[in-house]
Structure 1
Amino acid sequence: MAKKPNYSYEKRQKELAKAKKKAEKLRQKQERKDSRPDDDSSTQDEPETAPAISPDADA
């Protein structure tokens, strides 16, 4: 008689592999974020100033 496959084990292994891959992607994303130069982030914090136009200016 042939051995019955253990689907629970296969499913668990697949879930573990998926969780490991997700954790690795998250770690790499965090590394990229941390390695970004500080120069770029400081320019994003300062909004560009534009002349204020009031809605009543046309009237």
Structure 2
Amino acid sequence: MATPNYGYEKRQKELAKKRKKEEKLRAKADRKAGVGGPAGDTTAGDEGQGDAPAEPSQQPPQG
């Protein structure tokens, strides 16, 4: 049985935390600029989708 890759898990956690922090800062800047509302949410969602395909390729194969 393979040993857990704790370094990988830690890095993924750090990346998720960084993304969340950037998203919060972006939302805060949008509110300050007066954008806000559903339009601001869709923009943040589109950027998040662009990052999604990169994550599965970084995961180790199961099995």
Alignment TM class, shorter chain as reference: 0.5 to 0.7
Instruction: Count the aligned residue pairs.
Output: 35
Instruction: Mark the runs of 5 or more structure 1 residues left unpaired by the alignment.
Output: 37-59
Instruction: Mark the runs of 5 or more structure 2 residues left unpaired by the alignment.
Output: 36-63
Q: Larger helix proportion, structure 1 or 2?
A: 2
Over aligned residues, Cα RMSD in angstroms?
1.2
The TM-score with structure 1 as length reference comes to 0.57
Q: Which residue of 2 aligns with 1:8?
A: 7
Q: Percent identity?
A: 63
The TM-score with structure 2 as length reference comes to 0.53
Which of these two proteins has the greater Rg computed from alpha carbons?
Answer: 1
Q: Which runs of 4+ in 1 moved over 6 A?
A: none
**Equivalents in 2 of 1:28, 1:20: separation in Å?**
12
Superposed CA deviations along residues 13-50 of structure 1, whole A, max 9, x for unmatched, are 000000000000000000000007xxxxxxxxxxxxxx
